[in-house]
Structure 1
């Protein structure tokens, strides 16, 4: 059971990392690569 929980946690972390990367890439395309300050909590994705 512990091994299964570890695998699930690793998969969840990888999914989160990939989602954040997709957001970062999408925002970069929308902003032309500019870093826009003051986006509140969204800033952690850039």
Structure 2
């Protein structure tokens, strides 16, 4: 497995992936994808 930094071109796809991944989670507040952007320092 190779772990690398995301590229700016991938930000919107990652946002959508995280949003989709947590849609059915029992402990989701629906804002996990926004947390990813906050950690990155860039609002969507």
The two structures share one fold, judged by TM-score above 0.5: no
**More relative contact order in 1 or in 2 (CA 8 Å, sep 6+)?**
1
Give the number of the structure whose residues are more often helix, by fraction. Answer: 1
Greater CA radius of gyration, 1 or 2? 1
TM range (shorter): 0.3 to 0.5
